[in-house]
Structure 1
Amino acid sequence: MCPHDPPCPDAEAPDREAARTLACHPEQGWSLLCNGVVLFEDTGELLPSGTVIAPHRPVAGAV
């Protein structure tokens, strides 16, 4: 599926956010990655399977 060499991480892989960006819409707050993941600017994600990944930004001052 992925035409890149080396191939981008699969949408189910822990490093899925490392896939290349195919479409970027910063005015709308989202990007489409090569693996089909929609990545939102708040770090939330929508996987091709329909699974929603909650935002996971580091919290300031968290230990």
Structure 2
Amino acid sequence: MCQHRTECPSSDSADREAAVPVARHPEQGWSLLCNGVLLFDDTGELLPDGRVIAPRRSLLIAA
């Protein structure tokens, strides 16, 4: 459970990335959030239950 004064969003919340980082490893490209979510530098996520959230990439629009 989150011990922060304002409780962090759960791993099931749409705003789960707003949780406080509790471990950062920029050399490896990931951070562990208070809610158990592994957040990767490419915006992909691994949720505590094993679900994978694919990276959100910008769509390139041909001019």
Q: Same fold (TM over 0.5)?
A: yes
Aligned to 2:9: 9
Aligned to 2:47: 47
* Sequence identity percentage: 65
Query: Is there any run of 5+ residues in structure 2 with no aligned partner, and where?
Result: none
Letter in 2 for 1:19: A
State the Cα distance separating 1:60 from its structure 2 match: 5.0
What is the root-mean-square deviation of aligned Cα atoms in Å? 1.5
Aligned counterparts of 1:60 and 1:3: Cα–Cα separation in 2: 41
Aligned counterparts of 1:37 and 1:46: Cα–Cα separation in 2: 6
How many pairs align? 62
Q: Secondary structure at the match of 1:17?
A: helix
Matched, 1:18 2:18: yes
State the Cα distance separating 1:54 from its structure 2 match: 0.0
TM-score (norm 1): 0.90
